[in-house]
């Protein structure tokens, strides 16, 4: 499952996987909001290993349906609200999608996989903005402390911490 697979980065990931791994079924889940566009995937839409499912990661019932329908064993979680200016105008939407949506996906995966996590993967994709601002020069490393500076980056930092907590709590 690739969440946010009709977005800019997600569509490139979906296309890469569909073309490089024809033996795998690639399920693209996207709510098709302002950032998602299926025209990004016209070249793979008819591939035998590609499936599109419209859905919102905050919808628990829909996520259970998708997990059950495809017996998923992996998630690449890219779906997110991601524009800083929009987060300033509507921070609650960023919390809903980036925090609650991520926890919803984690819970559904945990329940679907029933504690049998061997061979299962949940990849969560974050953003460098969780580390704050660099200025004109510099770079972030694995040791850089979190320092979110917008509702967007704070919501992504929160989701990062929840993914880590699920990993340690449930050994996912």
CA distance 81 to 96: 9
CA distance 14 to 155: 24
Q: Hey, what are 73's tokens?
A: 């064993």
Q: Among 30, 56, 81, 129, which one carries the catalytic annotation?
A: 129
Q: Among 30, 50, 81, 152, which one carries the catalytic annotation?
A: 152
CA distance 165 to 145: 17
Q: What number of helices (H) and strands (E) belong to the chain?
A: 6, 5
| Residue whose C-alpha is closest to residue 105's, from 166, 50, 35, 15 | 166
DSSP code at position 48: T
Q: Hey, what are 68's tokens?
A: 């059950």
Dihedral class, residue 121 (left if φ above 0, else alpha if ψ from -120 to 50, else beta): beta
Q: Does the annotation count 128 as an active-site position?
A: yes
Q: Among 128, 131, 160, 167, which one carries the catalytic annotation?
A: 128
Q: Does the annotation count 152 as an active-site position?
A: yes
Contact 109, 162 (CB under 8 A): no
Catalytic center residues:
128-129, 152
């Amino acid at each position: 499952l690739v969440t946010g697979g009709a977005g800019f980065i997600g569509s490139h990931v979906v296309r890469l996987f569909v073309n490089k791994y024809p033996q795998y079924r690639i399920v693209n889940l996207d709510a098709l909001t302002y950032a998602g566009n299926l025209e990004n995937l016209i070249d793979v839409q008819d591939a035998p290993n590609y499936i599109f499912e419209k859905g919102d990661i905050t919808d628990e019932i829909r996520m259970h349906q998708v997990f059950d329908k495809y017996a998923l064993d992996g998630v690449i979680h890219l779906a997110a609200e991601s524009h800083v200016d929009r987060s300033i105008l509507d921070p609650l939407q960023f919390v809903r999608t980036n925090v609650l949506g991520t926890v919803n996906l984690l819970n559904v995966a945990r329940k679907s996989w029933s504690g049998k996590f061997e061979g299962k993967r949940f990849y969560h994709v974050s953003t460098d903005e969780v580390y704050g601002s660099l200025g004109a020069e510099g770079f972030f490393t694995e040791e850089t402390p979190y320092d979110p500076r917008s509702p967007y980056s704070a919501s992504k930092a929160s989701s990062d911490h929840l993914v880590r907590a699920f990993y340690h709590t449930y050994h996912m």
